[in-house]
A and B are shown apart, each in its own frame.
Chain A
């Protein structure tokens, strides 16, 4: 059974701090790892990583994948109050048949950024 574990489960920081969110996984036939941001509504897509060592960047957010050690990290630099949200990690695996594309989500990390 595919498994995704995120840490920490919650994090409280002040504006300007840098945070690192962790995601470790076990999955059959890994295809991709995705990061989502959720603010009291539907999750919104941040990154998809498929190759080890490739770092994705979008402004103050960046993410890297290590397929050998089976983990990913999401970094947020110079945090702002608008970064307060739940950050979800999901892994796509393939167990055969029509199961391709199924996402397994972690529990999420609740990030709170104080002014």
Chain B
């Protein structure tokens, strides 16, 4: 298993440009999520998905779109990049135990370091 993969590893954008960060997992996990990590702020949830066709907003969703057309893929789109979106982005996945159980460990991808000039 490759686990959770993310591409690209690094990206530099100019303000106003758009791009898509790719995330894929081969563990048949129902739950996938995107986080951003900024110095001194831990990880903050951007968007998450509990299964194909179902997405919802996290703590900091503004400026980002997601879709989940397959179980394996969960791309994150930056619509019009801003310097405030300079960050390290992590994708994560886990089994979805449903409302009756607690979440199992989340498996994180290697991250994408994004710089917006």
Contact = CB atoms under 8 A, between A and B. Distances in A.
Interface in B58-117: 58-59, 90, 94, 96-99, 102-111
Contacts, number: 71
A65 interface: no
Given A32-B102, A48-B104, A101 B42 contact: no
A58 interface: no
- 3 nearest CB pairs, A to B: A42-B108, A45-B105, A105-B42
Interface stretch (A14-22, A74-82, A91-99): A91-99
Interface residues of B, number: 31
- The size bracket of the interface on A is 20 to 34
Given A41-B111, A100-B98, A100-B99, A105 B105 contact: no
B69 to A, nearest CB: 17
B56 A99 contact: yes
Nearest to B99: A100
B31 A101 contact: yes
A103 B111 contact: no
20 contacts: A4-B42, A6-B42, A41-B111, A42-B108, A42-B110, A43-B43, A44-B108, A92-B103, A98-B54, A98-B56, A100-B50, A100-B98, A101-B48, A101-B50, A101-B103, A103-B43, A105-B43, A106-B42, A107-B40, A107-B41
